[in-house]
Structure 1
Amino acid sequence: MSSPPIRQLALQGAAAILVLSLAWPYYGLHGEAMPWRETSLAIGGAALLFATLSRQPWWWRVIHAGFMPLVWYTQSLAIDPGWFLLAAILLLLVYRGALTGQVPLYLSNKQTVQALAELLAERGASRFLDLGAGLGSTTVPLADALPDSHFTGVENAPLTWLVGRLLSVGRPNIRWRWDDLWQENLSDYDVVYAFLSPAPMPRLWEKVRAEMKPGSLFISNSFPVPGVVPAQVIEVACTPPRPLYCYPL
Protein backbone atom coordinates (compact mmCIF):
# COMPACT_ATOMS: atom_id res chain seq x y z
CA MET A 1 0.00 0.00 0.00
CA SER A 2 1.34 3.43 -0.89
CA SER A 3 2.15 5.90 1.85
CA PRO A 4 -0.42 8.61 2.72
CA PRO A 5 1.62 11.45 1.13
CA ILE A 6 1.88 9.45 -2.10
CA ARG A 7 -1.88 8.87 -2.08
CA GLN A 8 -2.55 12.59 -1.68
CA LEU A 9 -0.16 13.45 -4.52
CA ALA A 10 -1.83 10.81 -6.68
CA LEU A 11 -5.22 12.42 -6.01
CA GLN A 12 -3.92 15.84 -7.07
CA GLY A 13 -2.30 14.28 -10.12
CA ALA A 14 -5.55 12.58 -11.13
CA ALA A 15 -7.42 15.88 -10.86
CA ALA A 16 -4.80 17.67 -12.98
CA ILE A 17 -4.79 14.92 -15.63
CA LEU A 18 -8.58 14.95 -15.86
CA VAL A 19 -8.87 18.71 -16.32
CA LEU A 20 -5.88 19.10 -18.64
CA SER A 21 -6.94 16.18 -20.83
CA LEU A 22 -10.16 18.08 -21.50
CA ALA A 23 -8.84 21.64 -21.58
CA TRP A 24 -5.77 21.17 -23.81
CA PRO A 25 -7.64 19.63 -26.80
CA TYR A 26 -10.45 22.18 -26.51
CA TYR A 27 -8.25 25.27 -26.47
CA GLY A 28 -5.83 23.71 -28.96
CA LEU A 29 -8.60 23.12 -31.52
CA HIS A 30 -9.80 26.70 -31.08
CA GLY A 31 -6.26 28.11 -31.28
CA GLU A 32 -6.64 29.85 -27.93
CA ALA A 33 -4.17 30.21 -25.08
CA MET A 34 -4.85 28.13 -22.00
CA PRO A 35 -6.54 30.28 -19.30
CA TRP A 36 -4.39 29.08 -16.42
CA ARG A 37 -6.32 30.82 -13.66
CA GLU A 38 -9.58 29.14 -14.65
CA THR A 39 -7.76 25.86 -15.27
CA SER A 40 -6.21 25.92 -11.79
CA LEU A 41 -9.64 26.55 -10.27
CA ALA A 42 -11.06 23.62 -12.25
CA ILE A 43 -8.26 21.35 -11.02
CA GLY A 44 -8.97 22.46 -7.47
CA GLY A 45 -12.65 21.66 -7.94
CA ALA A 46 -11.87 18.21 -9.35
CA ALA A 47 -9.45 17.51 -6.49
CA LEU A 48 -12.11 18.55 -3.99
CA LEU A 49 -14.58 16.16 -5.64
CA PHE A 50 -12.09 13.28 -5.56
CA ALA A 51 -11.19 14.01 -1.93
CA THR A 52 -14.87 14.04 -0.99
CA LEU A 53 -15.64 10.79 -2.84
CA SER A 54 -12.66 9.09 -1.16
CA ARG A 55 -13.87 10.29 2.29
CA GLN A 56 -10.83 12.38 3.08
CA PRO A 57 -10.88 14.37 6.36
CA TRP A 58 -12.16 17.93 5.95
CA TRP A 59 -8.70 19.48 6.20
CA TRP A 60 -7.44 17.38 3.29
CA ARG A 61 -10.42 18.51 1.23
CA VAL A 62 -9.51 22.14 1.90
CA ILE A 63 -5.88 21.47 0.98
CA HIS A 64 -6.81 19.71 -2.24
CA ALA A 65 -9.27 22.43 -3.26
CA GLY A 66 -6.80 25.25 -2.68
CA PHE A 67 -3.51 23.67 -3.73
CA MET A 68 -3.53 24.27 -7.48
CA PRO A 69 -5.12 27.77 -7.31
CA LEU A 70 -2.42 28.73 -4.81
CA VAL A 71 0.25 27.33 -7.14
CA TRP A 72 -1.09 29.50 -9.96
CA TYR A 73 -1.32 32.59 -7.74
CA THR A 74 2.18 32.11 -6.35
CA GLN A 75 3.62 31.61 -9.84
CA SER A 76 2.01 34.89 -10.94
CA LEU A 77 3.96 36.73 -8.22
CA ALA A 78 7.30 35.77 -9.82
CA ILE A 79 8.96 35.03 -6.47
CA ASP A 80 12.61 33.98 -6.57
CA PRO A 81 12.78 30.13 -6.38
CA GLY A 82 15.38 30.36 -3.62
CA TRP A 83 12.70 31.46 -1.17
CA PHE A 84 10.69 28.32 -1.87
CA LEU A 85 13.74 26.17 -1.22
CA LEU A 86 14.36 27.96 2.06
CA ALA A 87 10.72 27.56 3.10
CA ALA A 88 10.80 23.85 2.24
CA ILE A 89 13.95 23.32 4.33
CA LEU A 90 12.47 25.15 7.32
CA LEU A 91 9.22 23.18 7.09
CA LEU A 92 11.16 19.92 6.97
CA LEU A 93 13.23 20.94 10.00
CA VAL A 94 10.11 21.72 12.04
CA TYR A 95 7.39 19.46 10.62
CA ARG A 96 9.30 16.35 9.66
CA GLY A 97 6.85 14.21 11.65
CA ALA A 98 3.91 15.44 9.60
CA LEU A 99 5.59 14.29 6.40
CA THR A 100 6.90 10.93 7.57
CA GLY A 101 4.22 9.87 10.05
CA GLN A 102 1.20 12.16 9.77
CA VAL A 103 2.12 13.68 13.12
CA PRO A 104 2.00 17.49 13.10
CA LEU A 105 3.61 19.66 15.75
CA TYR A 106 1.26 20.02 18.72
CA LEU A 107 2.28 21.91 21.86
CA SER A 108 0.79 20.91 25.21
CA ASN A 109 -0.67 23.86 27.11
CA LYS A 110 -0.16 24.80 30.77
CA GLN A 111 -3.47 23.29 31.86
CA THR A 112 -2.50 19.93 30.37
CA VAL A 113 0.91 20.04 32.04
CA GLN A 114 -0.77 20.78 35.38
CA ALA A 115 -3.14 17.84 34.95
CA LEU A 116 -0.23 15.56 34.10
CA ALA A 117 1.77 16.82 37.08
CA GLU A 118 -1.11 16.01 39.44
CA LEU A 119 -1.50 12.55 37.93
CA LEU A 120 2.21 11.81 38.19
CA ALA A 121 2.37 13.12 41.75
CA GLU A 122 -0.25 10.55 42.75
CA ARG A 123 1.87 7.76 41.25
CA GLY A 124 5.09 8.83 42.96
CA ALA A 125 8.54 8.95 41.35
CA SER A 126 8.17 7.78 37.76
CA ARG A 127 10.06 7.28 34.53
CA PHE A 128 8.10 9.36 32.02
CA LEU A 129 8.42 9.26 28.24
CA ASP A 130 7.06 11.92 25.89
CA LEU A 131 6.71 10.52 22.36
CA GLY A 132 7.02 13.34 19.84
CA ALA A 133 8.18 15.80 22.47
CA GLY A 134 8.31 18.85 20.19
CA LEU A 135 9.86 21.85 21.91
CA GLY A 136 9.70 20.31 25.37
CA SER A 137 6.50 22.12 26.32
CA THR A 138 5.48 19.09 28.40
CA THR A 139 8.76 17.55 29.47
CA VAL A 140 10.55 20.66 30.72
CA PRO A 141 7.86 22.03 33.09
CA LEU A 142 7.11 18.52 34.39
CA ALA A 143 10.79 18.00 35.16
CA ASP A 144 10.81 21.25 37.12
CA ALA A 145 7.63 20.37 39.02
CA LEU A 146 8.64 16.77 39.83
CA PRO A 147 12.39 16.62 40.46
CA ASP A 148 12.21 13.07 41.84
CA SER A 149 10.92 11.69 38.54
CA HIS A 150 12.92 11.15 35.37
CA PHE A 151 11.73 12.45 32.00
CA THR A 152 12.69 11.45 28.48
CA GLY A 153 11.66 13.36 25.38
CA VAL A 154 11.90 11.81 21.90
CA GLU A 155 11.67 14.11 18.87
CA ASN A 156 12.67 13.54 15.23
CA ALA A 157 12.34 17.04 13.72
CA PRO A 158 15.83 18.60 13.86
CA LEU A 159 14.92 22.20 14.66
CA THR A 160 12.33 21.44 17.32
CA TRP A 161 14.68 18.85 18.84
CA LEU A 162 17.39 21.52 19.06
CA VAL A 163 15.07 23.99 20.79
CA GLY A 164 13.97 21.34 23.27
CA ARG A 165 17.57 20.31 23.87
CA LEU A 166 18.52 23.88 24.72
CA LEU A 167 15.53 24.28 27.03
CA SER A 168 16.40 21.06 28.88
CA VAL A 169 19.96 22.15 29.65
CA GLY A 170 20.61 22.31 33.39
CA ARG A 171 17.86 19.82 34.25
CA PRO A 172 19.53 16.55 35.27
CA ASN A 173 16.24 14.63 35.32
CA ILE A 174 15.68 15.14 31.57
CA ARG A 175 17.07 12.99 28.80
CA TRP A 176 16.43 14.59 25.40
CA ARG A 177 16.76 12.33 22.37
CA TRP A 178 16.65 12.86 18.64
CA ASP A 179 15.13 9.61 17.43
CA ASP A 180 12.17 7.88 15.80
CA LEU A 181 9.45 7.18 18.37
CA TRP A 182 8.91 3.73 16.83
CA GLN A 183 12.46 2.74 17.80
CA GLU A 184 12.01 3.60 21.49
CA ASN A 185 11.69 0.67 23.90
CA LEU A 186 8.61 1.45 25.99
CA SER A 187 9.41 -1.18 28.60
CA ASP A 188 11.88 1.23 30.22
CA TYR A 189 9.11 3.62 31.37
CA ASP A 190 6.31 3.75 33.93
CA VAL A 191 4.30 6.39 32.07
CA VAL A 192 4.24 6.99 28.30
CA TYR A 193 2.60 10.17 26.98
CA ALA A 194 1.71 10.93 23.36
CA PHE A 195 0.17 13.96 21.66
CA LEU A 196 0.26 12.80 18.04
CA SER A 197 -2.73 12.46 15.69
CA PRO A 198 -5.42 9.87 14.96
CA ALA A 199 -3.35 8.26 12.18
CA PRO A 200 -0.66 6.45 14.24
CA MET A 201 -2.84 5.48 17.22
CA PRO A 202 -3.71 1.88 16.18
CA ARG A 203 -0.08 1.06 15.50
CA LEU A 204 1.08 2.82 18.66
CA TRP A 205 -1.41 0.89 20.76
CA GLU A 206 0.00 -2.38 19.42
CA LYS A 207 3.47 -1.21 20.46
CA VAL A 208 2.20 -0.14 23.89
CA ARG A 209 0.58 -3.52 24.53
CA ALA A 210 3.64 -5.40 23.33
CA GLU A 211 6.26 -3.47 25.29
CA MET A 212 4.89 -1.67 28.35
CA LYS A 213 5.01 -3.55 31.65
CA PRO A 214 2.04 -4.39 33.90
CA GLY A 215 1.25 -1.47 36.19
CA SER A 216 2.47 1.14 33.70
CA LEU A 217 0.28 3.83 32.17
CA PHE A 218 -0.22 5.08 28.63
CA ILE A 219 -1.71 8.58 28.19
CA SER A 220 -2.88 10.03 24.89
CA ASN A 221 -3.67 13.72 24.59
CA SER A 222 -6.82 14.44 22.54
CA PHE A 223 -6.75 11.28 20.42
CA PRO A 224 -8.21 8.07 21.90
CA VAL A 225 -7.13 4.62 20.85
CA PRO A 226 -9.76 3.42 18.32
CA GLY A 227 -11.98 0.69 19.70
CA VAL A 228 -10.42 0.74 23.18
CA VAL A 229 -12.26 2.21 26.17
CA PRO A 230 -9.91 4.23 28.41
CA ALA A 231 -9.95 3.52 32.13
CA GLN A 232 -10.03 7.26 32.81
CA VAL A 233 -10.60 10.43 30.81
CA ILE A 234 -9.26 13.62 32.36
CA GLU A 235 -11.13 16.64 31.06
CA VAL A 236 -8.59 19.45 30.94
CA ALA A 237 -10.09 22.90 31.45
CA CYS A 238 -8.86 24.57 28.27
CA THR A 239 -10.04 25.77 24.86
CA PRO A 240 -10.10 23.87 22.58
CA PRO A 241 -10.78 20.80 24.74
CA ARG A 242 -7.76 18.56 25.24
CA PRO A 243 -8.90 15.45 27.14
CA LEU A 244 -6.31 13.02 28.41
CA TYR A 245 -7.16 9.39 27.67
CA CYS A 246 -5.57 7.07 30.25
CA TYR A 247 -4.90 3.39 29.56
CA PRO A 248 -3.34 1.41 32.44
CA LEU A 249 -1.53 -1.76 31.42
Structure 2
Amino acid sequence: MRQLALQGAATLLVVSLAWPWFGMRGETLPWPETAFAIGGAALLLATLTRQPWWWKLIHLAFVPLAWLGSQVPLAPGWFFCIFLLLLLIYRGTLTGQAPLFLSNEATALALAEITADRPNMRFVDLGAGLGSVILPLARVRPDARLTGVENAPLVWAIGRLRTWGKPRCRWQWGDLRQADLRQSDVVYAFLSPLPMPDLWKKVCAEMPAGSLFISNSFAVPDVPATTVVEVGDRRQTRLYCYQR
Protein backbone atom coordinates (compact mmCIF):
# COMPACT_ATOMS: atom_id res chain seq x y z
CA MET A 1 0.00 0.00 0.00
CA ARG A 2 2.89 2.36 0.71
CA GLN A 3 4.19 1.98 -2.83
CA LEU A 4 0.75 2.54 -4.34
CA ALA A 5 0.43 5.65 -2.19
CA LEU A 6 3.73 6.96 -3.57
CA GLN A 7 2.55 6.42 -7.14
CA GLY A 8 -0.76 8.08 -6.34
CA ALA A 9 0.96 11.06 -4.74
CA ALA A 10 3.28 11.48 -7.73
CA THR A 11 0.35 11.29 -10.16
CA LEU A 12 -1.69 13.78 -8.15
CA LEU A 13 1.25 16.18 -7.89
CA VAL A 14 2.01 16.23 -11.61
CA VAL A 15 -1.58 16.28 -12.84
CA SER A 16 -2.63 19.00 -10.37
CA LEU A 17 0.16 21.21 -11.70
CA ALA A 18 -0.12 20.35 -15.38
CA TRP A 19 -3.90 20.28 -15.84
CA PRO A 20 -4.58 23.95 -14.91
CA TRP A 21 -1.61 25.12 -16.99
CA PHE A 22 -2.72 23.41 -20.17
CA GLY A 23 -6.40 23.99 -19.40
CA MET A 24 -5.96 27.76 -19.24
CA ARG A 25 -4.21 27.64 -22.60
CA GLY A 26 -6.97 25.55 -24.13
CA GLU A 27 -4.62 22.66 -24.81
CA THR A 28 -5.01 18.99 -24.04
CA LEU A 29 -2.72 17.37 -21.54
CA PRO A 30 0.31 15.85 -23.35
CA TRP A 31 0.20 12.35 -21.94
CA PRO A 32 3.66 11.14 -23.02
CA GLU A 33 5.39 14.03 -21.26
CA THR A 34 3.00 13.76 -18.32
CA ALA A 35 3.73 10.05 -17.91
CA PHE A 36 7.47 10.63 -17.80
CA ALA A 37 7.00 13.55 -15.40
CA ILE A 38 4.99 11.29 -13.09
CA GLY A 39 7.81 8.75 -13.25
CA GLY A 40 10.32 11.42 -12.27
CA ALA A 41 8.13 12.64 -9.41
CA ALA A 42 7.66 9.07 -8.19
CA LEU A 43 11.43 8.55 -8.25
CA LEU A 44 11.91 11.72 -6.22
CA LEU A 45 9.34 10.65 -3.63
CA ALA A 46 10.83 7.16 -3.45
CA THR A 47 14.27 8.69 -2.87
CA LEU A 48 12.99 11.06 -0.19
CA THR A 49 11.29 8.20 1.63
CA ARG A 50 14.43 6.05 1.36
CA GLN A 51 12.95 3.20 -0.61
CA PRO A 52 15.28 0.38 -1.80
CA TRP A 53 16.93 0.90 -5.17
CA TRP A 54 14.72 -1.62 -6.91
CA TRP A 55 11.56 0.20 -5.78
CA LYS A 56 13.04 3.44 -7.11
CA LEU A 57 13.43 1.84 -10.53
CA ILE A 58 9.89 0.49 -10.40
CA HIS A 59 8.49 3.91 -9.48
CA LEU A 60 10.49 5.60 -12.22
CA ALA A 61 9.35 3.20 -14.93
CA PHE A 62 5.81 2.25 -13.89
CA VAL A 63 3.69 5.05 -15.40
CA PRO A 64 5.86 5.58 -18.52
CA LEU A 65 5.69 1.85 -19.24
CA ALA A 66 1.95 1.85 -18.59
CA TRP A 67 1.54 4.67 -21.11
CA LEU A 68 3.78 2.92 -23.66
CA GLY A 69 1.80 -0.26 -23.15
CA SER A 70 -1.44 1.59 -23.81
CA GLN A 71 -0.10 2.53 -27.25
CA VAL A 72 0.44 -1.09 -28.25
CA PRO A 73 -2.49 -2.39 -30.33
CA LEU A 74 -3.22 -5.42 -28.17
CA ALA A 75 -6.52 -6.77 -26.99
CA PRO A 76 -7.21 -5.88 -23.32
CA GLY A 77 -7.03 -9.54 -22.38
CA TRP A 78 -3.32 -9.62 -23.17
CA PHE A 79 -2.61 -6.88 -20.65
CA PHE A 80 -4.48 -8.84 -18.03
CA CYS A 81 -2.45 -11.94 -18.88
CA ILE A 82 0.81 -10.00 -18.56
CA PHE A 83 -0.30 -8.59 -15.21
CA LEU A 84 -1.31 -12.04 -14.01
CA LEU A 85 2.02 -13.54 -15.07
CA LEU A 86 3.96 -10.84 -13.22
CA LEU A 87 1.82 -11.38 -10.14
CA LEU A 88 2.46 -15.13 -10.24
CA ILE A 89 6.21 -14.51 -10.35
CA TYR A 90 6.66 -11.42 -8.18
CA ARG A 91 3.92 -11.81 -5.58
CA GLY A 92 6.55 -11.71 -2.84
CA THR A 93 7.43 -8.14 -3.78
CA LEU A 94 3.95 -7.04 -2.75
CA THR A 95 3.29 -9.29 0.23
CA GLY A 96 6.76 -9.75 1.65
CA GLN A 97 8.53 -6.58 0.49
CA ALA A 98 11.12 -8.74 -1.21
CA PRO A 99 11.75 -9.11 -4.94
CA LEU A 100 12.73 -12.40 -6.54
CA PHE A 101 16.44 -12.75 -5.77
CA LEU A 102 17.95 -16.08 -6.79
CA SER A 103 20.94 -17.38 -4.87
CA ASN A 104 23.72 -18.87 -6.99
CA GLU A 105 25.45 -22.21 -6.54
CA ALA A 106 28.55 -20.59 -5.06
CA THR A 107 26.37 -19.28 -2.25
CA ALA A 108 24.84 -22.71 -1.70
CA LEU A 109 28.30 -24.27 -1.44
CA ALA A 110 29.36 -21.55 0.99
CA LEU A 111 26.31 -22.37 3.09
CA ALA A 112 27.36 -26.02 3.07
CA GLU A 113 30.78 -25.04 4.42
CA ILE A 114 29.34 -22.72 7.07
CA THR A 115 27.04 -25.47 8.34
CA ALA A 116 29.50 -28.35 8.02
CA ASP A 117 29.68 -28.70 11.82
CA ARG A 118 25.92 -29.26 12.05
CA PRO A 119 25.18 -32.90 11.15
CA ASN A 120 21.56 -33.75 10.34
CA MET A 121 20.74 -30.06 10.36
CA ARG A 122 17.20 -28.80 9.86
CA PHE A 123 17.58 -26.03 7.29
CA VAL A 124 14.90 -23.54 6.22
CA ASP A 125 15.17 -21.24 3.20
CA LEU A 126 12.75 -18.32 3.53
CA GLY A 127 11.83 -17.11 0.06
CA ALA A 128 13.27 -20.20 -1.56
CA GLY A 129 12.58 -19.13 -5.15
CA LEU A 130 13.26 -21.94 -7.62
CA GLY A 131 15.20 -24.06 -5.16
CA SER A 132 18.59 -22.62 -6.08
CA VAL A 133 19.84 -23.21 -2.52
CA ILE A 134 17.85 -26.28 -1.51
CA LEU A 135 18.87 -28.42 -4.49
CA PRO A 136 22.67 -27.88 -4.32
CA LEU A 137 22.56 -28.37 -0.55
CA ALA A 138 20.67 -31.62 -1.02
CA ARG A 139 23.52 -32.89 -3.21
CA VAL A 140 26.37 -32.00 -0.87
CA ARG A 141 24.53 -32.46 2.44
CA PRO A 142 22.51 -35.68 2.10
CA ASP A 143 22.17 -35.78 5.89
CA ALA A 144 20.30 -32.47 6.08
CA ARG A 145 16.55 -31.97 6.22
CA LEU A 146 15.81 -29.05 3.92
CA THR A 147 12.68 -26.90 3.77
CA GLY A 148 11.96 -24.21 1.19
CA VAL A 149 9.24 -21.63 1.85
CA GLU A 150 7.88 -19.65 -1.12
CA ASN A 151 4.67 -17.70 -1.78
CA ALA A 152 4.88 -16.63 -5.44
CA PRO A 153 2.60 -19.17 -7.15
CA LEU A 154 4.49 -19.81 -10.38
CA VAL A 155 7.89 -19.74 -8.68
CA TRP A 156 6.61 -22.11 -5.99
CA ALA A 157 5.27 -24.51 -8.63
CA ILE A 158 8.59 -24.61 -10.50
CA GLY A 159 10.47 -25.19 -7.26
CA ARG A 160 8.03 -27.91 -6.29
CA LEU A 161 8.64 -29.73 -9.56
CA ARG A 162 12.41 -29.41 -9.19
CA THR A 163 12.38 -30.86 -5.68
CA TRP A 164 9.84 -33.58 -6.47
CA GLY A 165 11.00 -37.03 -5.42
CA LYS A 166 13.76 -35.78 -3.13
CA PRO A 167 12.77 -37.23 0.24
CA ARG A 168 14.84 -34.87 2.38
CA CYS A 169 13.54 -31.76 0.60
CA ARG A 170 10.26 -30.27 1.78
CA TRP A 171 8.73 -27.59 -0.43
CA GLN A 172 6.26 -25.43 1.45
CA TRP A 173 3.76 -22.87 0.23
CA GLY A 174 3.37 -19.95 2.61
CA ASP A 175 4.28 -16.51 3.84
CA LEU A 176 7.73 -16.35 5.41
CA ARG A 177 6.23 -14.36 8.27
CA GLN A 178 4.08 -17.38 9.14
CA ALA A 179 6.81 -20.01 8.77
CA ASP A 180 7.50 -22.09 11.86
CA LEU A 181 11.17 -21.70 12.85
CA ARG A 182 10.98 -23.38 16.25
CA GLN A 183 12.60 -26.64 15.10
CA SER A 184 15.17 -25.06 12.77
CA ASP A 185 18.92 -25.35 13.18
CA VAL A 186 19.73 -22.96 10.32
CA VAL A 187 17.50 -20.37 8.65
CA TYR A 188 18.60 -18.66 5.44
CA ALA A 189 17.02 -15.64 3.74
CA PHE A 190 17.81 -13.55 0.65
CA LEU A 191 15.16 -10.84 0.84
CA SER A 192 15.63 -7.06 1.03
CA PRO A 193 16.36 -4.47 3.74
CA LEU A 194 12.67 -3.80 4.46
CA PRO A 195 11.58 -7.07 6.13
CA MET A 196 14.82 -7.59 8.07
CA PRO A 197 13.81 -5.90 11.37
CA ASP A 198 10.56 -7.88 11.64
CA LEU A 199 12.26 -11.07 10.50
CA TRP A 200 14.92 -10.65 13.18
CA LYS A 201 12.21 -10.33 15.83
CA LYS A 202 10.72 -13.58 14.55
CA VAL A 203 14.14 -15.26 14.60
CA CYS A 204 14.73 -14.17 18.19
CA ALA A 205 11.27 -15.29 19.27
CA GLU A 206 11.27 -18.70 17.59
CA MET A 207 14.70 -20.07 16.77
CA PRO A 208 16.27 -22.20 19.52
CA ALA A 209 19.50 -21.38 21.32
CA GLY A 210 22.57 -22.41 19.35
CA SER A 211 20.82 -22.09 15.99
CA LEU A 212 22.09 -19.94 13.13
CA PHE A 213 20.38 -17.27 11.05
CA ILE A 214 22.06 -16.34 7.74
CA SER A 215 21.06 -13.37 5.59
CA ASN A 216 22.36 -12.97 2.07
CA SER A 217 23.52 -9.40 1.33
CA PHE A 218 21.23 -7.62 3.80
CA ALA A 219 22.38 -7.21 7.38
CA VAL A 220 19.99 -6.93 10.29
CA PRO A 221 19.89 -3.22 11.21
CA ASP A 222 21.73 -2.31 14.41
CA VAL A 223 22.62 -5.95 15.14
CA PRO A 224 26.28 -6.92 14.66
CA ALA A 225 26.73 -10.17 12.79
CA THR A 226 28.58 -12.98 14.54
CA THR A 227 30.55 -13.53 11.33
CA VAL A 228 30.42 -12.21 7.77
CA VAL A 229 31.39 -14.65 5.03
CA GLU A 230 32.63 -13.39 1.66
CA VAL A 231 31.47 -15.85 -0.99
CA GLY A 232 33.91 -14.62 -3.63
CA ASP A 233 31.49 -14.79 -6.56
CA ARG A 234 30.82 -12.18 -9.24
CA ARG A 235 28.13 -10.57 -7.12
CA GLN A 236 30.60 -10.17 -4.25
CA THR A 237 27.99 -11.83 -2.06
CA ARG A 238 28.21 -11.44 1.68
CA LEU A 239 26.54 -13.81 4.10
CA TYR A 240 25.70 -12.23 7.45
CA CYS A 241 25.64 -14.97 10.09
CA TYR A 242 23.91 -14.50 13.43
CA GLN A 243 24.43 -17.12 16.13
CA ARG A 244 21.46 -17.48 18.44
The TM-score normalised by the length of structure 1 is: 0.91
2:82 maps to which of 83, 87, 108: 87
| TM alignment of 1:1-249, pairs within 5 A | 6-249=1-244
Aligned partners of 1:56 and 1:239: how far apart in 2? 25
Q: Shift in Å at residue 213 of structure 1?
A: 0.9
CA distance in 2, matches of 1:51, 1:181: 25
1:85-130 deviations in Å (ceiling 9; x for gaps): 1111111111111111111111111111111112222222211111
> Distance between the aligned counterparts of 2:56 and 2:156, measured in 1?
31
RMSD: 1.7
Which structure 1 residue ranges, 5 or more long, are not aligned?
Answer: 1-5
Percent identity among equivalent residues? 60
For structure 1, which segment, 196-205 or 16-25, has the greater mean C-alpha deviation from structure 2 after superposition? Answer: 16-25
Tell me, what secondary structure is at the counterpart of 1:11?
Answer: helix
**Shift in CA distance, 63/147, structure 1 to aligned 2, threshold 3 Å:** closer
Judge which range, 65-74 or 125-134, deviates more. Answer: 65-74
Q: Shift in Å at residue 138 of structure 1? A: 0.6
Given that 2:52 and 2:193 are in contact with CA atoms closer than 8 Å, whether structure 1 keeps it comes out as no
SS in 1 for 2:233: coil
Tell me the alpha carbon deviations over residues 57-80 of structure 1, each in whole angstroms, 9 at most, x when there is no partner. 444333333332222222222332
How big is the shift at 1:206? 0.8
What is the TM-score when the length of structure 2 is the normalising length? 0.92
- Report how many residues are paired: 244
> Structure 1 runs of 4+ off > 4 angstroms?
none
Shift of 1:21: 2.3
Measure the CA separation in 1 of the matches of 2:24 and 2:114: 71
Question: 2 CA distance for matches of 1:61 and 1:134?
Answer: 23
For the residues of structure 2 that align with 1:53 and 1:131, how far apart are their CA atoms?
A: 30
In structure 2, the residue matched to 1:3 is none
